[in-house]
Structure 1
Amino acid sequence: MTTTFIRAAEVWAPSDDGQLLEYRAGAFGTARRFEAISQSMCFGRGEGLPGRAWDEGRPQLLRQFDAAHFRRAAAAQAAGFTCAAALPFFTGDVLKAVLVVYCAHGAGAASALELWHQDPRVTTDMTLVDGAYGPGAQTFESISHDTTLPRGVGLPGLAWQRGEGVFMEDITDGTGRFLRAAYASSAGLQRGLALPAGARSAESHVLTFLAGASLPLAQRVERWAPGENRARLHRVEAFSELHGGRSQADASLPLDGAGSIAQAFASGMPAINAHPRSEPGAPAAAAAGIGATALIVVPVQWEDEVSEVVALYL
């Protein structure tokens, strides 16, 4: 199994009485003990990482695992996870689900997980809430805390402006699209993925994943968006670092069809399939071609509608 920066994910959803968050789905790779513990847990409002995302109504980032802030800290550390983020999904003010994504900094491999936000009551720019940075990224971390991004500038700013996921194959390519390119290059960072994230408030949030060439963000990254007649979802971007790079092959799925990608788009809820070869059509072929053992599908909501989904193959 290929080692990736994004290692695992889980979905939590409110119980029937709305008092607790219960485990609904997950993909954990070889972290079987962590998986078993997670499946037996639930969280109240404000409890644990999922509960804090629910209570505060906004994404959360955990720089490291400790028992005071994460109930499964020992199991997470044993699994090799080093940081995590929780993304809540709402319909109006009502929570539908919380997606928690676990990442791991590799020894000698550059990587970073960042959470950016813009509060219209305070500033017109996007600033860093917090980040988790791997070895050798101290200078990059420092400059990131001092960086402000206008709408449409930098990787988080582009995701904020477009209301869609933004993947950059090379954030150091000299085009200026990534504002911190020189510092990223020095830190060994190369790939970048930014995901707009929802919140109950008027604030805008973007979660970014950054990694070097020796540590793929995921085995494959795809974006799926509806066509003009909104009858089918079309694969508008696909990149597999270890399996041919960027793909130009056309692929589509019925909007009302089965499978994690169509269901996530239709419901606005994240989906996880720990057996991605069971997916219909092109996703199954992609999973088989790269030997993926999990598919994580993240809906991107823009102006109260799901604009696209981002599919991550692990």
Structure 2
Amino acid sequence: MDAVLDMPTRAFIEVTEVWVPEGERLVLASGNYGGLDGFATVSGEQSFAKGEGLPGKAWQEGRPVVLKGFDGSYFKRIDAAKAAGLTSGVAVPIFAGDTLKAVIVVLCADDDMRIGAIEVWHDKDSLLVLDDGYYGAAKHFEWVSQHTHFPHGQGLPGGVWASNTPMLMRDLGSGYRFIRAESAGKAGLTTGLGLPIPVPGDKTYVLTLLSARGTPIARRFELWDARTSKVGSTHGAVLADGICAVEGPLWDEDNQRHVAPWHGPIGRVLGSGLPFVERGAPGLPAGYESVVAIPVYRGAEVAYVVAWYS
């Protein structure tokens, strides 16, 4: 158990927020700010109209948005972010059909040690191309990614595109399925999570999060399938895949894990249809301090829940 509690000195993602529509504005529903109490206070006093700030920009454009620098930008909390050492962010809208359910915002700090990737891919001429991404100090991997296109079904983004399901990939530096394996290995990237981001219209977006051992995005990832599972008389979800930095694979065909609506973090997403982000939440696996759980919709229904723990 000591190994589980051996936290990395730096996290790739510093802040994660959930903004939900309330009338004509987005208001803060939940967030994990780590020790950035000043930024948390400022954020709790904010709301965003469509097109305003990073959450409002994702709402207005109806797609994931990457903002690599705050100075001189439409970001509304620049002074507080600067005081907290935050330098970049990614906003991901969560749609059920044409209805906006929430906007997830992740904010990162920049230094020479943080390695990882948060990427947004979109379809163009029958290929997936990089819309934008944040890579920290992984500059060579960023360059490789900018010059890599994925056909339907190839690599992590292409696999998510073809299956329209979330996917986990292990051993990115040596895995033959990961197209950028050589540059990923050199950057120290180990685990990849990809998920489809449904948006209104016919545009395809795929979000990928690539985690490195020294500055991980998370130490545990889970994919829950809510399409067919039932727990008792209510629709629940079954663990379809999962990996933990200490425990290894979490999925066991002979001993499947189920969760019911409103039971624990995953159940809260199933019950509410909204993302759930919290630090110190009850029901977390032993040794973890925070959770991010996101619904993946097919039409108006939650089809999957993707979660990661730190």
Question: What TM-score, normalized to structure 2?
Answer: 0.87
The offset of 1:108, in angstroms, is 2.7
Q: Distance in 1 between matches of 2:42 and 2:192?
A: 31
Query: Contact 2:275/2:293 (CA < 8 Å) preserved in 1?
Result: yes
RMSD value over aligned CA atoms?
A: 2.2
Would you say 1:41 and 2:46 are equivalent positions?
yes
Are positions 1:111 and 2:116 aligned together? yes
Shift of residue 270, structure 1, vs aligned partner? 0.9
Cα distance between partner residues in 2 of 1:201 and 1:266? 26
**What SS class does the counterpart of residue 14 from structure 2 fall into?**
strand
Counterpart CA distance in 2 for 1:263 and 1:244 is 24
Structure 1 unaligned blocks of 5 or more: none
Counterpart selection for 1:238 from 242, 262, 271: 242
Distance 1:229 1:189 in 2: 33
Q: 1:28 Cα shift?
A: 0.9
C-alpha distance in 2 between matches for 1:239 and 1:217: 13
Go from structure 1 to structure 2 and tell me whether the alpha carbon gap of 1:47 and 1:5 turns closer, same or farther (over 3 Å shift): same
Q: Which amino acid aligns with 1:153?
A: Q
Aligned position for 1:268: 273
Q: Is the 8 A contact 1:4 1:219 kept in 2?
A: no
Distance in 2, matches of 1:147 and 1:98, equals: 28
1:302 aligns with 2:298: yes
1:213-263 Cα distance to aligned partner (Å, 9 max, x none): 21222132111113744333222222222x333334642212x34433123
Residue 221 of structure 1 corresponds to which residue in structure 2? 221
Change (3 A) 1:42 1:229: closer
Amino acid of the structure 2 residue aligned with 1:28? Y
CA contact (8 A) 2:229 2:238 kept: no
Per-residue deviation, 1:65: 2.6
Per-residue deviation, residues 50-70 of structure 1 (Å, max 9, x unmatched): 001111111111123324231
Q: 1:236 to 1:103 in 2, by over 3 A?
A: farther
Contact 2:127 2:152 in 1 (8 A): yes
Q: Distance in 2 between matches of 1:21 and 1:257?
A: 24
User: Where has structure 1 moved over 4 Å in runs of 4 or more?
Assistant: none
Q: Summarize the Cα distance change of 1:235–1:229 in structure 2 as closer, same or farther, 3 Å threshold.
A: closer
Q: What per-residue deviation string (whole Å, max 9, x for no partner) do you get for residues 149-202 of structure 1?
A: 112111111122222222222112242x11111222233322222122121221
SS for the counterpart of 2:50 is: coil
**1:17-68 alpha-carbon deviations (Å, 9 max, x no partner):** x211111111111111111111000111101110011111111111233242
Alpha carbons of structure 1 residues 66 and 6: separation in structure 2 relative to 1, 3 Å: same
Conserved in 1, the CA contact under 8 Å of 2:192 and 2:209? yes
Amino acid at match of 1:252: H
TM-score (norm 1): 0.86
Q: Any gaps of 5 or more consecutive residues in structure 2?
A: 1-6
Shift of 1:141: 1.9
Residue 165 of structure 1 is matched in structure 2 by 166
